[in-house]
Structure formats: C-alpha cells, structure tokens
C-alpha cells in the first residue's frame, strides 16, 4: 500500500505488483502453531497471509519458513512463490539482510537451471534484491542489480517486463526529490502494465501508479495535473471493485483512503482547509482500523495536526498529538517522531511555554539531522548516470572478451576476399579470352559447345561467389563495428570524466563520438542489407500485431521525447495477429516510425494506426513533417539511393532503411507504399497478409 509521505520500498515495489498475487482473503486464526506438514506451497502462503493480516507478522515468517524446510524438494515455481512471499514479510519487518540472503539463494537455484530458460524469474529476483539493497542504503550495489534486471527485460522484448524496473527507478527519483523525472518513469511503468495479465496485482499496481503520478505532480507544485491523476486513481479503484469479488473490501477501502490523504495536500495548498480536513478525517477513519494501513493513517494525522496549528484549533491539536504519541508505541517511525516533535514545539510556542517548546524543538532537530544523514548518500547518488556508466563498462568488457574471436574472423574474411578476387579475375580473364577467340572457334562446333558448357559452369560459380561476397560483406561490417564501438565508448568516457578540457578538445571528442555513432548505424544497415531476405530463409511465428506496434512505440518514445514529439497509437479494436518474422517486421516499424521522428518538427504528433483491410493487417505511420520532394519519390526505395534528406534536427541519413523495409515486406507477400505532400507530411502504409502460415 502506498504511503503518501515516505514511499516505502516494501509497499511500493514489492507488495504492490510482483507479490500482491499472494494478497488473499483474510480471516482470524484459531491456532497459530507450526504443526503443518505435507501441504502445498499455495496453501502455506494463504495460511501465512492470514496470520500476517491478523497482526502476527513474525509468526507468519516463522510459519512459512518452517513449511519450506519440511516440504522436501519443490518445483522451481514453488520455490519462487516461497521466496517472493517471504521477501514481503522480511521487508515489512525491516529484515533487509534476510531479504538479500533469500534473493541470493534463489539466484543460485535459478543458475542451476540456466539463464536462458528463466530470464523473467531472474529479472524479478534481481529487482527484489535491488530493492532490499536500496532499502539498506547500499545504493551502488542496488544499481548493479537494477541494471541486470533492465538488461533481461530488454532481451525479452516485452513491455510488461519493464514495469517493475521503471516503477523502482521512479521511486528512487521521487525520494531524491526529482519529481518530474519520477513522473516520467511512473507513466512509463503504467503504460507497460497495460500489457500485463489483468489480475489483482496488476490492478493494484496501476491504481498505485496513478496515485504516485498525482503525488509527484503535487510535490512539483503542478496542482492541476495532481488533481487529475488523483481522481483517475479513485475512479479506477471504484470501477474495479466488482471485478475481484474474492478480495476483501479493505484492499479497496485502504487504497481509496491513501488517495484521499494525498488529495488533501492539494486543498491545503489552495487554503481550502475545510475540504482538506474532511478528506484527512475520512482517510484516518478508514486506515486506523485493525489490519488496515495504520502507518498511512498516522501520516494523515500529522497533516491534520498541521491544519489545526494553522487554524489555531489548539484543543483539537492537543488531542491529536496525544493520539499520535500513543500510536507511536505500536507504529514506530523516525519521520513521524520528527514531525510530532516539531508540531509539539509549535503548540507549546503558541501557549507561551518556551521551556517545553525548546525541548521538543531540540528533539525535532536531532531527528531531522538523523533523517538528512540517512538520505545523504541517496540524494547525492546519480542513478541514471550510474546505469549509463554500467552500460558503457559492459560494452567495453564485451569488446575485450570478443577481441581474439574478432581478429580470427577478420583474418578469415581477408583470406576469403583475396580468394574471391583471384577467382573473379581468372573468370573475367578467361571470358575475355573466349571473346577474342570467337571467330577462330566458329568452325570448331564441338569445341564451341564444350567451351559454352565450361562458360555456364563458370557463370554458376560466379553466382556462388556472389553469395560468398554477401557473407564476406556481413563479416567485414561486423568486424568494423567492434573497433568503432570501442572508440565510441572510450570517447563517451573521455567526454564525461572529471578532467578539465578546453572547449576545442570537447568539440573534437564530440565530433569523434558522433562520427562513430554514424558509422555504427551505417554498419548495422549494411549488415541488414547484406542478409538475403527470402521467405524460405525466415522463421515466421504468430505475432500479436497490436502488441508488436505498441512495444516498438514504447521503445521509440524516448527518441521522440528529445524533440518534444508525441507518438499516438490507434490499435485495432480486436486481437489481430499474423505469421511474420517478428524481428524483421520490428525493423520495418522501427525504420518507419524512426523516419517520422527524424523528419517531423518539434512538438509534432506522429500517428500510428493498426487496421484490418480484407485479409490483411495494415499499419500506417503518419507525420506532419517536411514531406518527400517530387523528384525523390520514384527512388525512395532504392538501395543506396542518392535521394537523401537530413532530418529536421540535422539527423544524418544513410539511405538504405526503406530499401530494407521493402525487401522485408515483399518477403512476407505484403506491400509497402506512401502518400506524401511536400511541406505537409508523409504517410507510409505496410500491408501484411493475415492467413499465411509459416513457410
């Protein structure tokens, strides 16, 4: 459950999404003993969860551990259930070391089964361990595991896989008071959650993310946006109550109460204390109930106390401070104690009791200094910079690891090229000799026929060598990419290190970095162009086109964001899938949407639409950019065309992306075309058949 002042890692990252599948209906127990053997892990988790809901948190942890120790050999899925649920309890109890040890034990189990078979489980465990490390204040180690989780999410090419990762980073940025940056990660996480299974945990995460976005906007003083998202959260909770009849009412009531407490902040900022008090009292009334989110109720009480102080309702303030002090015995918290001392100091200051006011203010300053010291490392930590540096280190390590293999491939490629040149030279020389001797051979029919047969064989050999050239081209392009990637990575490090450099040196480094990136992009295009794209060489599978388009747009949003552009997606209103080569069609969509971003102006909207026309799925990409000049249109799909145009932001063109896209579409028996008006924009269309099976 979200807490509107502290963003607890226990509640925000773990309970709300990955592990709320264990949040089952609660009831009181008549027996809390550990005499339970030979039951399923699902039953054990349900039993422990009821103990937890009844207030026996430590007993719940002891019980589930006991069952696990006596259950014998468990399946991988059952081990995962045990670890994820146990982690909820440990994080809730503040046993961060135990949570880290638990994650390490699960990583060891997964490694025995192999990474390739269990990438999503690895990703979940890496996020779990990262959250525990973050809660303990080990930020550098936490970033390492966040990066590992991100890498696996990218490998899965699945938007749902990024949800936990982006949610966790949003929480970190919120705690660093980078509220608008946090908003972007929370929104990204919400959009990715739309692709996940619509179970209770997914519902709970989405309502929490809506509240998180509102909370971040509120902290950034963007009040209108905060109210919009708070209302969205409340409506979303109300709309979904009937969809989960097996869940206890407290799950929905407590969630609403948290949003009410957050929404009260908006009214306080506007000076509307009466509305704020109503919301806070309702929030407190709900969450002070047994087994509800009591810690959140205490935070609402602090807010209400601040209002009483501002409106000079000292009798109500005194009673509320007495209530909070009593609750601190069962709901301890450094932040709450700090605020309680501050409010007490202000209260006695108003009464003119300077001795007590001084005593409480001194206690407040001590606790405030303690919190500042605890958060010092977090506030000074650059999580995005750390993750970017890890990416660079990983690329450098990968280059070094493959250096010897790359050298061997380069030698082999050189040998093959030399042999091909010699063979082609001999063939051309022999062909020339035949041409010169044609007249003298006219009388020797038998020899002419023999030479013709030899010539046909030679031509077939040329065709084979032409295929060899394509393979050589791929090898050479790949080998060229490796050193250029190394130069790019090292240049980036030089640009970002702490060494003082002149502007001239920095400009030279930036030019080198840009040239390397352009060369890498061109090499990738050459690799794609060298690959023979034919139906017989492609492994097709049934692919959800709506999902593929949305995933591609999600990954290109960051690129569009640089130019303040927006990509809108209109999905087909029903499920629509086709037998296609997923990666190659992904490349087509990436080329078309990337071109739309490149040739559109800042603040533009790019419209992507999926529709069904007859037996085909049609994907259109519309922009309002520069358009295609009339003179270039007939050559737009040519390989290495001279019809190149720079992007609106000065982006350099390579000229082969549309040719590759056309080859891919035709290999699927589809069609690609465009409509364009110079200065008004362009729309590209891709039509793919729906009923062709894998060939």
- Using one digit for the tens of pLDDT, what is the confidence trace for 104-132? 988 888 888 775 667 778 888 888 888 88
- For residues 638 and 279, the model is more confident at 279
Pairing of strands 577-580, 616-623: unpaired
**Average of pLDDT values for 455-476?**
66
Alpha carbons within 13 angstroms on the beta-carbon side of residue 238 total: 8
First to last CA, the chain: 50
CA-to-CA separations, 471 to 46, 475, 483, 528, in angstroms, rounded: 58, 6, 20, 11
Q: Which residues pair with 686 in a beta bridge?
A: 619, 672
In this structure, what token pair is assigned to residue 524? 């990738």
**Average of pLDDT values for 19-29?**
35
Averaged confidence pLDDT in the chain: 80
Over the range 50-88, which residues count as b (16 or more CB within 10 Å of their CB) and which as e? bbbbbebeebbbbbbbbbbeebeeeeeebbbbbbbbbbb
- For residues 406 and 284, the model is more confident at 284
> What is residue 490's predicted lDDT score, i.e. its pLDDT?
78
**Average of pLDDT values for 125-148?**
82
- For residues 508 and 361, the model is more confident at 361
For the sheet with 605-613, list strands across it: 566-570, 605-613, 616-623, 681-689, 671-677
- What is the tens place of the pLDDT at every residue in 164-195? 778 878 888 888 888 999 999 899 889 988 88
Residue 226 backbone dihedrals phi, psi, to 5 degrees: -60, -45
Question: What pLDDT band is residue 262 in, cutting at 50, 70 and 90?
Answer: very high
In this structure, what token pair is assigned to residue 105? 């034990």
Answer yes or no: is pLDDT of 238 > 50: yes
Answer yes or no: is pLDDT of 470 > 80: no
> What is residue 60's predicted lDDT score, i.e. its pLDDT?
83
**Average of pLDDT values for 13-39?**
39
> What is residue 289's predicted lDDT score, i.e. its pLDDT?
86
CA distance 227 to 250: 24
Answer yes or no: is pLDDT of 14 > 50: no
Pairing of strands 671-677, 566-570: unpaired
**Average of pLDDT values for 514-541?**
65
Helix axes 273-287, 249-269, angle to 10 degrees: 160
CA distance 194 to 324: 39
Q: Which range, of 16-25, 240-249, 365-374, 382-391, averages the lowest pLDDT? A: 16-25
Residue 55 backbone dihedrals phi, psi, to 5 degrees: 100, 0
CA-to-CA separations, 472 to 165, 414, 536, 655, 659, in angstroms, rounded: 40, 9, 21, 21, 21
Q: Is 271 left (phi over 0), alpha (psi -120 to 50) or beta?
A: left
Question: What pLDDT band is residue 26 in, cutting at 50, 70 and 90?
Answer: very low
**Average of pLDDT values for 210-221?**
93
Percent of the chain with pLDDT over 70: 75
- For residues 197 and 406, the model is more confident at 197
> What is residue 285's predicted lDDT score, i.e. its pLDDT?
92
- For residues 52 and 587, the model is more confident at 587
- For residues 533 and 555, the model is more confident at 555
- What is the tens place of the pLDDT at every residue in 413-436? 788 788 888 888 777 776 666 666
Q: What is the reported pTM?
A: 0.50
In this structure, what token pair is assigned to residue 386? 């750390």
Closest CA to 481 of 470, 492, 473, 493: 473
Over the range 101-117, which residues count as b (16 or more CB within 10 Å of their CB) and which as e? ebbeebbebbeeeeeee
- Residues 6 or more apart whose CB falls under 8 angstroms from that of 447 comprise 441
Residue 516: exposure state from Cβ atoms within 10 A (0-12, 13-18, ≥19): buried
**Average of pLDDT values for 620-648?**
81
Closest CA to 150 of 555, 544, 520, 587: 555
Alpha carbons within 13 angstroms on the beta-carbon side of residue 5 total: 17
> What is residue 28's predicted lDDT score, i.e. its pLDDT?
33
> What is residue 17's predicted lDDT score, i.e. its pLDDT?
37
Answer yes or no: is pLDDT of 9 > 60: no
Answer yes or no: is pLDDT of 398 > 60: no
- What is the tens place of the pLDDT at every residue in 289-347? 877 778 888 899 999 999 999 999 999 999 999 998 888 877 777 888 899 999 999 99
Query: What 3-state class would DSSP assign to 610?
Result: strand
> What is residue 8's predicted lDDT score, i.e. its pLDDT?
41
> What is residue 239's predicted lDDT score, i.e. its pLDDT?
92
> What is residue 466's predicted lDDT score, i.e. its pLDDT?
56
CA-to-CA separations, 212 to 1, 155, 374, in angstroms, rounded: 11, 28, 23
In this structure, what token pair is assigned to residue 123? 């990703």
In this structure, what token pair is assigned to residue 445? 């029919």
> What is residue 27's predicted lDDT score, i.e. its pLDDT?
33
- For residues 471 and 353, the model is more confident at 353
**Average of pLDDT values for 362-389?**
72
- What is the tens place of the pLDDT at every residue in 265-276? 999 988 999 999
CA distance 247 to 237: 13
- For residues 87 and 651, the model is more confident at 87
Q: Which residue has the tokens 């040890």?
A: 101
Q: Which residues pair with 682 in a beta bridge?
A: 623, 676
Answer yes or no: is pLDDT of 475 > 90: no
Asked if residues 210 and 227 have their Cβ atoms less than 8 Å apart, the reply is no
Answer yes or no: is pLDDT of 83 > 70: yes
**Average of pLDDT values for 85-98?**
85
Asked if residues 56 and 48 have their Cβ atoms less than 8 Å apart, the reply is no
């Amino acid at each position: 459950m979200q807490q509107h002042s502290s963003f607890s890692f226990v509640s925000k990252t773990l309970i709300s999404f990955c592990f709320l599948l264990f949040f089952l209906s609660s009831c009181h127990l008549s027996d809390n003993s550990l005499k339970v053997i030979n039951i399923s892990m699902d039953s054990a988790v349900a039993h422990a969860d009821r103990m937890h809901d009844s207030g026996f948190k430590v007993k719940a942890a002891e019980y589930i551990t006991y069952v696990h120790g006596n259950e014998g050999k468990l399946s991988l899925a059952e081990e995962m259930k045990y670890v994820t649920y146990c982690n909820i309890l440990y994080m809730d109890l503040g046993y961060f070391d135990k949570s880290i040890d638990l994650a390490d034990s699960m990583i060891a189990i997964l490694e025995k089964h192999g990474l390739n078979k269990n990438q999503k489980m690895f990703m979940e465990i890496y996020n779990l361990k990262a959250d525990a490390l973050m809660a303990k204040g080990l930020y550098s180690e936490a970033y390492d595991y966040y990066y590992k989780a991100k890498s696996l999410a990218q490998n899965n090419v699945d938007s749902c896989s990024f949800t936990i990762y982006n949610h966790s980073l949003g929480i970190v940025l919120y705690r660093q008071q980078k509220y608008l940056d946090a908003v972007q990660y929370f929104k990204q996480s919400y959009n990715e959650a739309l692709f996940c299974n619509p179970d209770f945990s997914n519902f709970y995460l989405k309502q929490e993310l809506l509240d998180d976005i509102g909370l971040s906007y509120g902290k950034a003083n963007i009040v209108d946006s905060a109210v919009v998202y708070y209302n969205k959260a409340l409506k979303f909770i109300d709309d979904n109550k009937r969809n989960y009849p097996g869940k206890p009412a407290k799950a929905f009531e407590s969630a609403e109460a948290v949003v009410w407490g957050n929404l009260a902040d908006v009214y306080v900022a506007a000076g509307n204390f009466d509305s704020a008090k109503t919301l806070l009292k309702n929030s407190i009334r709900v969450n002070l109930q047994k087994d509800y989110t009591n810690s959140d109720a205490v935070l609402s009480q602090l807010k209400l106390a601040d209002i009483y102080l501002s409106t000079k309702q000292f009798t109500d303030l005194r009673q509320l401070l007495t209530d909070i002090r009593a609750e601190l015995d069962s709901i301890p918290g450094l932040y709450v104690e700090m605020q309680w001392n501050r409010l007490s100091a202000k209260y006695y200051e108003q009464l003119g009791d300077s001795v007590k006011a001084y005593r409480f203010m001194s206690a407040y300053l001590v606790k405030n200094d303690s919190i500042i010291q605890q958060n010092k490392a977090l506030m000074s930590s650059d999580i995005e910079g750390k993750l970017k540096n890890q990416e660079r280190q990983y690329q450098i390590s990968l280059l070094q690891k493959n250096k010897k293999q790359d050298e061997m491939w380069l030698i082999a490629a050189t040998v093959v090229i030399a042999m091909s040149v010699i063979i082609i030279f001999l063939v051309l020389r022999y062909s020339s000799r035949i041409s010169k001797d044609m007249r003298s051979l006219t009388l020797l029919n038998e020899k002419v026929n023999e030479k013709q047969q030899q010539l046909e064989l030679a031509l077939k050999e040329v065709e084979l060598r032409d295929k060899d050239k394509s393979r050589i081209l791929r090898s050479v392009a790949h080998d060229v990419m490796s050193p250029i990637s190394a130069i790019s990575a090292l240049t980036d490090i030089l640009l970002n290190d702490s060494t003082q450099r002149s502007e001239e040196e920095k400009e030279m480094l930036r030019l080198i970095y840009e040239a390397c990136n352009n060369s890498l992009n061109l090499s990738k295009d050459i690799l794609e162009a060298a690959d023979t794209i034919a139906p017989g060489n492609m492994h097709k599978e049934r692919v959800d086109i709506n999902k593929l388009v949305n995933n591609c747009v999600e990954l290109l949003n960051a690129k569009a964001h640089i130019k303040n552009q927006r990509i809108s997606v209109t999905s087909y209103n029903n499920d629509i899938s086709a037998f296609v080569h997923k990666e190659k069609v992904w490349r087509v969509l990436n080329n078309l949407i990337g071109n739309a971003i490149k040739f559109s102006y800042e603040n533009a909207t790019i419209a992507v639409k999926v529709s069904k026309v007859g037996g085909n799925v049609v994907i259109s990409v519309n922009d309002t950019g520069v358009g295609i000049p009339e003179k270039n249109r007939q050559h737009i799909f040519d390989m290495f065309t001279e019809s190149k145009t720079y992007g609106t932001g000065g982006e350099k063109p390579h000229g082969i992306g549309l040719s590759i896209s056309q080859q891919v579409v035709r290999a699927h028996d589809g069609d690609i075309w465009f409509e364009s008006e110079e200065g008004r924009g362009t729309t590209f269309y891709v039509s793919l058949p729906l009923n062709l099976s894998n060939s």
